[in-house]
Structure 1
């Protein structure tokens, strides 16, 4: 059973759309900048109703961002923390924590679409100098998540699916500039912190599936989804690779 209509829901539909024993909960607050209590309450109400039905396996998509320090936790992340706790306490509950998911979607609120849109249009945006981000391909989430949903022991209640190493936003923006062939128009805010993600279990599962989330993974994901459709037909200036960027995106 699939709950939701977005990127994650569509990706898992072929595998669990007609499975009455596995619930893939891919509905709820999709904008990480959301602050309205009504939106959080709507997701919580739907989640509780479905958990009460007692599926053999109930998969909820959490966020790797919930491990940030308390001052960095937004209302959205605080909400995700509460929902993760709710799911993990239910029989068969499994939380798959995700970083920034990359796939074919028109959602302007994803980090990668935000960067692509701003750089492509030349619009100004603000970035955080010390923050790290992590990207993961929707195709890899489906392969890993499906295995966990049907094969893992129910004693496993949470795992993170993410690249083995997070990347500083300056490096991510640099990759986008290279892929798009255009410089970013940005301002710098001296904020942010490292993104620590426990990927030990994901690494074990990936070894079984033949998925490599190691060095070069994040760049390969960006090029997979943005490397062919958004080119500007001009080479980057020769000195570009030597320019030290101090910026980070929220």
Structure 2
């Protein structure tokens, strides 16, 4: 069973839409800048109803929860709460995701934001020390499917991410090369390295023949954003 109709929901639908024993919860707050309590409450209520079904529930958390600053944003606080709800249920699996790359009209994703700013010529701010981890949504579905079938229930979140993170400036450079346009941005001395333990996901990727080695980020960005 799939709850949701967005990018992740569509990617997992082929394998799990008719599975009577597994609920893939792919409907929630998709904007990491969200701060409205009403939006968080909507997801919380939907998740609680799904958990009441007493079937294995797969929830997509955020790798940012593990690397959040001492004063996390309302979005990260919400993700922490939802992850805890799922893990405490006794029949949940939390897959933490980094920056998902795929075909989506959502303007709030990092890469869509960069693309739109670069193509429009608008200036934007880049944190010099910030890092992000990019992964193809198709690879999430393949790796996630393997982990779901293999774990069923796990006592802690599992990060589904690429083995290497890039600085945001490096990602901007990739997008400039792919789009053939110069980005206009202001650099601020902020941010921090992104540390993700993705060993389990990388092992599953290797078993599936998914190459997440050098050049992975550029390959997936070209897949979805090359003219």
Q: What's the TM-score, normalizing by structure 1?
A: 0.87
* Partner deviation per Cα, 1:33-68 (whole Å, 9 max, x = no partner): 00011111111111111101100x210000001112
CA separation of 1:221 and 1:15: change in aligned 2, threshold 3 A: same
* Partner deviation per Cα, 1:64-114 (whole Å, 9 max, x = no partner): 011124346211011101111111112221111000101011100000100
Task: Please state whether the residue corresponding to 2:194 is helix, strand or coil.
Answer: coil
Task: Please state whether the residue corresponding to 1:70 is helix, strand or coil.
Answer: coil
CA contact (8 A) 1:54 1:91 kept: no
**Structure 1 segment 10-89 matched on structure 2, within 5 A:** 10-55=10-55, 57-71=56-70, 73-89=72-88
What is the alpha-carbon distance in structure 2 between the residues aligned to residue 155 and residue 5 of structure 1? 25
Matched, 1:181 2:180: yes
CA contact (8 A) 1:162 1:213 kept: no
Other-structure match for 1:2: 2
What is the alpha-carbon distance in structure 1 between the residues aligned to residue 74 and residue 208 of structure 2? 36
CA separation of 1:223 and 1:62: change in aligned 2, threshold 3 A: same
Runs of 5+ consecutive residues of structure 1 not aligned to the other structure = 230-250
Other-structure match for 2:159: 160
What is the alpha-carbon distance in structure 1 between the residues aligned to residue 68 and residue 148 of structure 2? 30
Other-structure match for 1:97: 96
Flag the structure with larger Rg.
1
Other-structure match for 1:246: none
Report how far residue 153 of structure 1 moved.
Answer: 4.8
Q: What's the RMSD between the two structures over aligned residues?
A: 1.3
What is the alpha-carbon distance in structure 2 between the residues aligned to residue 69 and residue 98 of structure 1? 14
Task: Please state whether the residue corresponding to 1:41 is helix, strand or coil.
Answer: helix
Report how far residue 185 of structure 1 moved.
Answer: 1.1
Other-structure match for 1:192: 191
* Count of residues in Structure 1 that have an aligned counterpart in Structure 2: 227
Task: Please state whether the residue corresponding to 2:24 is helix, strand or coil.
Answer: strand
Q: What's the TM-score, normalizing by structure 2?
A: 0.96
Runs of 5+ consecutive residues of structure 2 not aligned to the other structure = none
What is the alpha-carbon distance in structure 1 between the residues aligned to residue 72 and residue 37 of structure 2? 15
Other-structure match for 1:124: 123
CA contact (8 A) 1:93 1:157 kept: no
What is the alpha-carbon distance in structure 2 between the residues aligned to residue 215 and residue 159 of structure 1? 23
